[in-house]
Every structure is written in structure tokens, then in C-alpha cells.
């Protein structure tokens, strides 16, 4: 039987690593001809969280991890000017280490190399694949519509030559049903410090890959997927939803998880709104006060994950809140005792799966959107950074799968989301017979059908495997 190795190159960061490893494991479950090597980069500043890597390494011997050496990150000043350019340059500085690791630890083995699977920030590694004479595939951890935005960037740049501006008219982008207003654009599109041009270059580079693997399913993004059928775009494979339904609880959080799940067990079905904003989402005291007032006035039960900004301006992960009595409105904790629970870290996947959850106030990270759709939980959109504004716009305006709390909201803009907006969104979200809730339940069923035999993503993965194995040549026996 012809067998082959695949090398995965994810960007360091939990949002990218989790869906990449979920896809790698799924590929192994689907076809035992593959073995997979994952090249692990270190986080730039904060200590690298290897808990997910360690748990998979201990439980699945089919995945081999190679930890790359630490490299010097770009200057911290660049991080604050443009996170996107910072990450792009940091990843590019790993190129020689990536090539060396593949030559010394992969090509020297007995299995032929079927190709490199690179993260959306790792487009420079497409050149490494070319130098090694093997195919490259982009694993796009965002959605299909945003991939279409990435393809649109170089075309627009060749015509206009500058970044987007907040005074621009709406942009007609083929992968979106409706024109995008400037306020719904990702912050990188307006970044004059290298973020915009970095993504223009990524968009150009994607066209040199042998295939694009997107963590979505065609029933969810049929318009976006159909927009890719033209010359010059590599084959697109929709393989999602790739979500880790058995998320590992970080050490030290087992007690917190137990308390959260026990509290949910005591709540009526579909009665609780869950507020959680991802691994990097946090708010200062003024916004926490407005959120608390909005929740209290809504009258609904709530589970609220409260994280505070790190003291080093965002380089480290947010921290769990302490002394909430001093931060939240006077008497709030006493008045909401019994109908609300505040936590720090929360086991998001397990919470969304719980029968008590009736709605999700989310930052609209793509993994979170897929998890909520899988479990049939409608979202109120509160995007914070990256492409989350664009995700929120698509979910509300293009797909009708979310309630708008905010779409035009930018982290660091100093604009408070007021209690009245939060109250209204929560009330709208928790209506039992709303159109959005019905559509989300229907899409939940479609998401589950997509990944089983006969489903659209199942078939797409089959085509991807055929393409990967077609390029493998078995080395001659010595």
C-alpha cells in the first residue's frame, strides 16, 4: 500500500493550532496511508502553551511533533502598530528552520512526502515546498468568505494602490452577498503600518498553492464557495466544520469546569445566555459595568466569562478577574445571585453543548461560530479584532444566522457598547420562536450531515486525499 507523510505548519496561537490539529487527526482517521508531522513554532513573547500539543502527543502516536528552535521576534513596537505584519515577519523568520527540519527529519525517513499544509499566515512556506519539489496546501482557519476577501485584496491593490479608508464607499467583494461597508472591514484592511500590505502579499501567494483547504462547509457558505470557480484560483476543498468536540481542560481549571457545569445542570433548558470572547478577548472596567447593567436589565439568566486586559498592553493573555465587587456596579452580584454566574476561563465547547444554553454573545472568532452552529446555539455578535467584524457582518446580513449586537466595533477605539444595546440584543437573542433561532437549528443539522459519509465535506476531503496521493511517488527499494 502506498503511504506518505504530510507536514503541517501552523501559526503559533490556540485558534490556529486547535483547528489545524483537529483537521490533521480527522485526516488520519479517514485514511491510514498518511502519517503526519507537525512543526511547532514558539509564541513570540509569552510562554508557549504546549498543553494541546502535549495531550495529542500523549494520546495519538500517529502525529509526530517537531519543536522548532526559538527565533528572535520582530521589535515589540511592530506588534502594537500591526499584529498582522508582526506575525507574518515572525513566521517568515522560521523559514530556514522549517526547511532544515523537513530535510533532516522527514525527507530522510522511508516515507515519501506528499506535501506541506501551511497556515494562512505561513504563505512564505509555499516557497519552501517549491524548493523541496513537493506540493503545498493552505489550511485556511478562517471562513470561505474571508478567503475571498484575501483574493480580492491584490486585485484591488493593483487598481488603487493604498489601504482602505473609513470614508470609502461600500466594497462589492464577490465572496459576500452584500457589499461590505468600511465599518465591517477587518482592521488590517485600514492598517497603514504594514498589516494591509502583508495581507495583500498573502493573497497573491495563495494562488501559487496546489490547493486551499477551508474550515467551512458548502451549505453554510454556498455563495462564497461558488465565487471561487474561475481561472487562477487553486482547487478549494471545504472540509469543515473541524472543531475539537473533546476539548482538553487546561490543568488547574478542572474545579472551575466542575462548578460551571454543575450550575448549568440546575438551570432550565435554553434559559441561559453565555458570554465569552475567546482566548484574547477582554474588557476594562467601564465596559464591564455596562455589560453587567445590560444583563441585569434583560432579565435573563447568564453565564459570563470575565477576562481583564493583561498589564503589558496585550502581549500576554488576558487574566481572570478578581475582586469583582469593586469592578461591577454596586449590588450587582447580590441582585443577580441565583440567575447569573460569573467565571474566568470557561470550557466553551462543553458549555455550548449544554441543554441550558439558549444564546451566545460572542466575539465571532470562526472556531466559536462553528462550535455554536454545531450545537444549534444562536449568536449575538460582538466582534473585537482580526476578521471578526467581517464574520459578524456575514452572519447577520448575508446569512441571517445571528443577531446584531455590534458589527462596527474596533478594539481600542474607546467606544463603549452601552447597557441598552446589550439588553436589547440579549432579549432578541433569547426569543424562543425567532427566525434566527430556527435557521441556526437547521444549519446545525446541516453541519453534522456535512462531515459524515455522503456529506459535502466528507466528499471534499475524499477529493483532497486523491489529489495528495496522486502526487506521491513511491521511492525505489534499495
For residue 14, the model assigns a pLDDT of 78
In 271-382, which ranges are continuous DSSP H helix?
285-298, 324-327, 332-335, 348-353, 366-374
How far is CA 450 from each of CA 45, 228, 241, 286, 427, rounded to the nearest angstrom?
39, 20, 8, 43, 31
Domain 254-442 homologous superfamily, CATH: Glycogen Phosphorylase B; (3.40.50.2000)
pLDDT (tens digit, 9 = 90+) per residue, 400-410?
Answer: 999 999 877 56
For residue 249, the model assigns a pLDDT of 61
Please state, for a pLDDT cut of 90, what percent of the chain lies above it: 76
pLDDT (tens digit, 9 = 90+) per residue, 142-156?
Answer: 999 999 999 999 999
What mean pLDDT is reported for the chain?
A: 91
For residue 19, the model assigns a pLDDT of 86
Choosing among 3.30.70.600, 3.40.50.2000, 3.20.20.70, 3.40.50.620, the CATH entry for 4-240+451-470 is 3.40.50.2000
Domain ranges of the chain: 4-240+451-470, 254-442
pLDDT (tens digit, 9 = 90+) per residue, 220-263?
Answer: 999 999 999 876 899 999 999 998 877 666 656 889 999 999 99
Whole-angstrom Cα distance, residue 333 to residue 341? 9
Angle between helices 456-470 and 435-450 (to 10 degrees): 40
Asked whether 115 and 27 are in contact (CB, 8 A), the reply is: no
pLDDT (tens digit, 9 = 90+) per residue, 256-306?
Answer: 999 999 999 999 999 999 999 987 778 889 999 999 999 999 999 999 999
Residue 164 has pLDDT above 70, yes or no: yes
- Average pLDDT over every residue of 389-393: 95
- Average pLDDT over every residue of 399-422: 82
Asked whether 25 and 75 are in contact (CB, 8 A), the reply is: no
Amino acid at each position: 500500500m502506498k503511504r506518505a507523510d504530510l507536514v503541517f505548519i501552523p501559526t503559533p496561537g490556540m485558534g490556529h493550532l486547535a483547528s489545524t490539529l483537529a483537521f490533521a487527526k480527522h485526516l488520519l482517521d479517514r485514511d491510514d496511508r498518511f502519517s503526519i508531522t507537525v512543526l511547532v513554532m514558539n509564541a513570540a513573547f509569552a510562554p508557549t502553551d504546549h498543553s494541546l500539543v502535549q495531550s495529542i502527543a500523549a494520546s495519538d502516536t500517529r502525529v509526530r511533533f517537531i519543536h522548532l528552535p526559538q527565533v528572535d521576534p520582530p521589535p515589540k513596537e511592530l506588534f502594537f502598530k500591526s499584529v498582522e505584519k508582526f506575525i507574518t515577519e515572525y513566521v517568515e523568520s522560521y523559514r530556514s528552520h522549517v526547511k532544515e527540519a523537513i530535510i533532516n527529519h522527514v525527507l530522510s525517513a522511508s516515507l515519501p512526502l506528499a506535501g506541506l499544509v501551511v497556515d494562512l499566515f505561513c504563505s512564505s512556506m509555499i516557497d519552501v515546498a517549491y524548493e523541496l519539489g513537493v506540493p503545498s496546501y493552505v489550511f485556511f482557519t478562517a471562513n470561505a468568505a474571508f478567503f475571498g476577501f484575501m483574493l480580492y485584496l491584490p486585485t484591488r491593490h493593483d487598481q488603487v494602490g493604498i489601504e482602505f479608508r473609513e470614508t470609502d464607499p461600500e466594497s462589492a467583494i464577490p465572496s459576500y452577498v452584500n457589499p461590505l461597508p468600511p465599518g465591517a472591514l477587518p482592521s488590517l484592511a485600514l492598517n497603514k503600518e504594514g498589516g494591509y500590505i502583508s495581507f495583500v502579499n498573502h493573497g497573491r501567494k495563495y494562488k501559487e498553492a496546489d490547493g486551499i483547504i477551508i474550515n467551512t462547509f458548502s451549505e453554510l457558505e454556498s455563495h462564497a464557495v461558488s465565487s471561487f470557480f474561475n481561472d487562477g484560483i487553486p482547487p478549494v476543498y471545504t472540509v469543515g466544520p473541524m472543531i475539537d468536540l473533546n476539548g482538553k481542560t487546561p490543568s488547574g481549571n478542572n474545579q472551575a469546569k466542575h462548578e460551571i457545569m454543575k450550575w448549568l445542570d440546575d438551570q432550565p433548558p435554553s434559559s441561559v445566555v453565555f458570554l465569552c470572547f475567546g482566548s484574547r478577548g477582554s474588557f476594562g472596567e467601564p465596559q464591564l459595568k455596562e455589560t453587567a447593567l445590560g444583563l441585569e436589565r434583560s432579565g435573563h439568566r447568564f453565564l459570563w466569562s470575565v477576562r481583564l486586559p493583561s498589564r503589558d498592553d496585550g502581549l500576554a493573555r488576558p487574566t481572570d478577574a478578581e475582586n469583582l465587587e469593586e469592578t461591577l456596579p454596586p449590588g450587582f452580584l447580590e441582585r443577580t445571585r441565583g440567575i447569573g454566574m460569573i467565571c474566568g476561563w470557561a470550557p466553551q465547547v462543553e458549555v455550548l453543548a449544554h441543554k441550558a444554553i439558549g444564546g451566545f454573545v460572542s466575539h465571532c472568532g470562526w472556531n466559536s461560530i462553528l462550535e455554536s452552529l454545531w450545537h444549534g446555539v444562536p449568536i449575538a455578535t460582538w466582534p473585537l479584532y482580526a476578521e471578526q467584524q467581517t464574520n459578524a457582518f456575514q452572519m447577520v446580513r448575508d446569512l441571517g444566522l445571528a443577531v446584531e449586537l455590534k458589527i462596527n466595533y474596533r478594539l481600542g477605539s474607546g467606544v463603549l457598547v452601552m447597557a441598552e444595546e446589550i439588553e436589547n440584543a440579549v432579549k432578541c437573542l433569547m426569543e424562543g420562536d425567532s427566525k434566527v433561532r430556527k435557521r441556526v437549528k437547521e444549519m446545525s443539522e446541516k453541519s453534522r450531515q456535512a462531515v459524515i459519509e455522503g456529506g459535502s465535506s466528507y466528499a471534499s476531503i475524499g477529493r483532497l486525499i486523491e489529489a495528495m496521493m496522486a502526487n506521491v511517488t513511491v521511492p525505489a527499494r534499495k
